[in-house]
Protein backbone atom coordinates (compact mmCIF):
# COMPACT_ATOMS: atom_id res chain seq x y z
CA UNK A 1 0.00 0.00 0.00
CA UNK A 2 1.29 3.44 -0.79
CA UNK A 3 2.18 5.79 2.02
CA UNK A 4 -0.55 8.14 0.83
CA UNK A 5 -3.25 5.48 1.00
CA UNK A 6 -2.01 4.36 4.41
CA UNK A 7 -2.14 7.93 5.70
CA UNK A 8 -5.64 8.45 4.30
CA UNK A 9 -6.90 5.26 5.95
CA UNK A 10 -5.22 6.18 9.23
CA UNK A 11 -6.71 9.68 9.10
CA UNK A 12 -10.19 8.34 8.35
CA UNK A 13 -9.92 5.84 11.20
CA UNK A 14 -8.75 8.59 13.58
CA UNK A 15 -11.55 10.93 12.53
CA UNK A 16 -14.06 8.11 12.87
CA UNK A 17 -12.71 7.37 16.35
CA UNK A 18 -12.80 10.98 17.50
CA UNK A 19 -16.33 11.48 16.13
CA UNK A 20 -17.42 8.25 17.84
CA UNK A 21 -15.95 9.35 21.16
CA UNK A 22 -17.58 12.76 20.90
CA UNK A 23 -21.05 11.49 19.96
CA UNK A 24 -20.94 8.59 22.39
CA UNK A 25 -19.59 10.79 25.16
CA UNK A 26 -22.37 13.30 24.56
CA UNK A 27 -25.02 10.57 24.64
CA UNK A 28 -23.59 8.91 27.76
CA UNK A 29 -22.37 11.87 29.80
CA UNK A 30 -24.31 14.84 28.44
CA UNK A 31 -27.16 14.79 30.95
CA UNK A 32 -30.68 15.44 29.71
CA UNK A 33 -29.42 16.91 26.45
CA UNK A 34 -27.26 13.82 25.89
CA UNK A 35 -30.19 11.50 26.55
CA UNK A 36 -32.31 13.50 24.11
CA UNK A 37 -29.49 13.27 21.54
CA UNK A 38 -29.31 9.49 21.99
CA UNK A 39 -33.06 8.95 21.83
CA UNK A 40 -33.99 5.28 22.21
CA UNK A 41 -30.39 4.08 22.02
CA UNK A 42 -29.82 0.51 23.13
CA UNK A 43 -27.43 0.84 26.10
CA UNK A 44 -25.04 -2.01 25.25
CA UNK A 45 -24.69 -0.71 21.67
CA UNK A 46 -24.09 2.83 22.89
CA UNK A 47 -21.42 1.73 25.37
CA UNK A 48 -19.76 -0.56 22.84
CA UNK A 49 -19.57 2.17 20.22
CA UNK A 50 -18.20 4.69 22.73
CA UNK A 51 -15.49 2.33 23.99
CA UNK A 52 -14.71 1.21 20.43
CA UNK A 53 -13.85 4.83 19.64
CA UNK A 54 -10.66 4.41 21.69
CA UNK A 55 -9.79 1.29 19.69
CA UNK A 56 -10.42 3.21 16.45
CA UNK A 57 -7.87 5.84 17.45
CA UNK A 58 -5.38 3.17 18.51
CA UNK A 59 -5.87 1.36 15.20
CA UNK A 60 -5.34 4.63 13.33
CA UNK A 61 -1.97 5.08 15.05
CA UNK A 62 -1.01 1.47 14.31
CA UNK A 63 -1.95 1.85 10.64
CA UNK A 64 -0.08 5.15 10.34
CA UNK A 65 3.04 3.65 11.95
CA UNK A 66 2.70 0.39 9.99
CA UNK A 67 2.49 -1.44 13.31
CA UNK A 68 2.41 -5.22 13.38
CA UNK A 69 -0.85 -5.19 15.29
CA UNK A 70 -2.69 -2.91 12.80
CA UNK A 71 -4.32 -5.85 11.01
CA UNK A 72 -5.27 -7.88 14.11
CA UNK A 73 -6.71 -4.76 15.73
CA UNK A 74 -8.71 -3.75 12.64
CA UNK A 75 -9.98 -7.32 12.31
CA UNK A 76 -10.92 -7.47 16.00
CA UNK A 77 -12.80 -4.17 15.72
CA UNK A 78 -14.66 -5.47 12.64
CA UNK A 79 -15.52 -8.78 14.32
CA UNK A 80 -16.64 -7.15 17.57
CA UNK A 81 -18.75 -4.63 15.66
CA UNK A 82 -20.42 -7.39 13.67
CA UNK A 83 -21.12 -9.33 16.88
CA UNK A 84 -22.69 -6.29 18.55
CA UNK A 85 -24.68 -5.63 15.37
CA UNK A 86 -26.09 -9.18 15.48
CA UNK A 87 -26.89 -8.82 19.19
CA UNK A 88 -28.58 -5.49 18.45
CA UNK A 89 -30.72 -7.10 15.74
CA UNK A 90 -31.68 -9.91 18.13
CA UNK A 91 -32.63 -7.33 20.76
CA UNK A 92 -34.75 -5.45 18.23
CA UNK A 93 -36.41 -8.71 17.20
CA UNK A 94 -37.45 -9.25 20.82
CA UNK A 95 -39.07 -5.81 20.97
CA UNK A 96 -36.36 -3.66 22.56
CA UNK A 97 -36.95 0.04 21.89
CA UNK A 98 -34.29 1.38 19.54
CA UNK A 99 -33.34 4.13 17.14
CA UNK A 100 -33.77 3.18 13.49
CA UNK A 101 -30.59 5.11 12.66
CA UNK A 102 -28.62 2.49 14.59
CA UNK A 103 -29.04 0.05 11.68
CA UNK A 104 -27.33 2.50 9.34
CA UNK A 105 -24.64 3.39 11.85
CA UNK A 106 -23.77 -0.23 12.57
CA UNK A 107 -23.78 -1.07 8.87
CA UNK A 108 -21.37 1.81 8.22
CA UNK A 109 -19.10 0.81 11.13
CA UNK A 110 -19.05 -2.83 10.08
CA UNK A 111 -18.34 -2.07 6.42
CA UNK A 112 -15.66 0.50 7.26
CA UNK A 113 -13.70 -1.81 9.59
CA UNK A 114 -14.05 -4.83 7.31
CA UNK A 115 -12.63 -2.72 4.48
CA UNK A 116 -9.82 -1.38 6.67
CA UNK A 117 -8.92 -4.89 7.83
CA UNK A 118 -8.91 -6.14 4.23
CA UNK A 119 -6.67 -3.30 3.01
CA UNK A 120 -4.31 -3.54 5.98
CA UNK A 121 -4.16 -7.34 5.65
CA UNK A 122 -3.21 -7.04 2.00
CA UNK A 123 -0.46 -4.63 3.04
CA UNK A 124 0.90 -7.14 5.58
CA UNK A 125 1.20 -10.10 3.21
CA UNK A 126 4.74 -11.19 2.28
CA UNK A 127 4.21 -10.38 -1.41
CA UNK A 128 3.10 -6.82 -0.52
CA UNK A 129 6.35 -6.27 1.34
CA UNK A 130 8.60 -7.16 -1.61
CA UNK A 131 9.63 -3.85 -3.10
Is a pLDDT exceeding 50 seen at residue 131? Answer: no
Residue ranges per structural domain of the chain: 3-125
Per-residue pLDDT of 45-102, as tens digits, reads: 999 999 999 999 999 999 999 989 999 999 999 999 999 999 999 999 999 999 999 9
**Among 65, 63, 88, 82, residue whose Cα is nearest residue 73:** 63
Asked if 50 contacts 20 with a C-beta cutoff of 8 angstroms, the reply is yes
**What is 72-106 written as a DSSP string?**
HHHHHHHHHHHHHHHHHHHHHHTT----THHHHHH
Is a pLDDT exceeding 80 seen at residue 121? Answer: yes
Burial-class residue 52 by CB neighbours within 10 Å (0-12, 13-18, 19+). buried
Threshold 0.75, pTM exceeds: yes
**Does residue 31 come out as left (phi exceeding 0), alpha (psi in the -120 to 50 range) or beta?**
left
Q: What is the mean pLDDT of residues 13-40?
A: 93
DSSP annotation of 94: T
Is a pLDDT exceeding 80 seen at residue 109? Answer: yes
Go through 3-33 and write b for each residue having 16 or more CB atoms within 10 A of its CB, e for each that does not.
eeebeebbebbbebbeebbebbebbbeeeee
Amino acid sequence: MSATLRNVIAALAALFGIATLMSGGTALFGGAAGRAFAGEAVPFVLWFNFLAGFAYVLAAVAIWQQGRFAFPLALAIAAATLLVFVLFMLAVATGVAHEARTFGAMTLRSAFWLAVAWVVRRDNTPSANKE
